[in-house]
Structure 1
């Protein structure tokens, strides 16, 4: 019994593509081989150059940013120099920092301006004689650190 093969329908023909026929249809001439090798050679030469270009572009951008930061610092220093050329600014700084006064002025320095409630509590007086204690130094260190961290600090009242 012989089986008869029917010709493929249009949908079956589009589903099956004969790759061998397609690859076999490509003909490489000497000119195409030379052109393809030139394209590969060009890519091989240009890729490192492009990488160098991008690296230099990044360095230039970083240097421009550095110049901007330096220029800002220069502008700030020029402004400060201009302030120090003003006699009123110099007088104000001398009064504030060095407590200078003009002749005839009376200066009042408030030595203890913290409220009594905000001051730390008094401790026992410190003795002049060293004392020896037998204790675990690690536990004593831990107590000292936690005691310093939890101590009440003296702060001025906000006005």
Structure 2
């Protein structure tokens, strides 16, 4: 046996056994028998044959919790958004009301001014201050008017008392052609 060890150049240690069997191309035994090569199991081969479920239990529980949280928060979030919209509408209404209050305050200040009151009284009620001259355009009953009155009304205003004129106008409005005092 010592001659066999010296022939191969090995001294001491376990002896490696070699086989002279033919090896097929692509077989695993040929890849493992090469010297200096590490042998590792192929991970792709073991996962390809053994396939687990698509979702683990933890992923399903996490998905259910996220869905439950979304459903729980949907109502309060909707109320929050509606509240913000209502606040915006109320702020716009407040701006309108404050503008209207400013306008009304300015009108109140104007109406408390005696000059404004006198001007409005002269315009609406045709008041005249002492020393002013009133000129009315288009009135037929003006004493300075020399135009003839319309036909059929000559002298009727001076002869009829005011209450009979009122009753006559009411009768004319009702459609009665004869006045009540005639």
After TM superposition, the score normalised by the length of structure 1 is: 0.52
Please give the alpha-carbon distance, in whole angstroms, between the structure 1 residues aligned to 2:125 and 2:52.
96
Q: Is 1:47 matched up with 2:91? A: no
Q: How big is each residue's C-alpha offset from its partner over 1:35-82, in whole Å with a ceiling of 9 and x where there is no partner?
A: 111101011112222211111111111111111111111000111011
Q: How big is each residue's C-alpha offset from its partner over 1:76-132, in whole Å with a ceiling of 9 and x where there is no partner?
A: 01110111122221111111111111113221111259xxxxxxxxxxxx9937xxx
User: Taking CA–CA contacts closer than 8 Å with sequence separation of 6 or more, which of the two structures ends up with the larger relative contact order?
Assistant: 1
Q: Is 1:66 matched up with 2:115? A: no
Q: Which moved more, 1:103-112 or 1:76-85?
A: 103-112
Residue 112 to residue 25, structure 1, CA distance change in 2 (3 Å): farther
Provide structure 1 residue ranges, at least 5 long, that are not aligned to the other structure.
1-20, 114-125, 130-159
After TM superposition, the score normalised by the length of structure 2 is: 0.46
Provide structure 2 residue ranges, at least 5 long, that are not aligned to the other structure.
1-47, 141-171
What's 2:119 paired with?
Answer: 92
Matched positions, count:
95
What's 2:61 paired with?
Answer: 34
Please give the alpha-carbon distance, in whole angstroms, between the structure 1 residues aligned to 2:101 and 2:52.
72
What's 2:134 paired with?
Answer: 107
Of residues 83, 107, 128, the one that matches 2:177 is 128
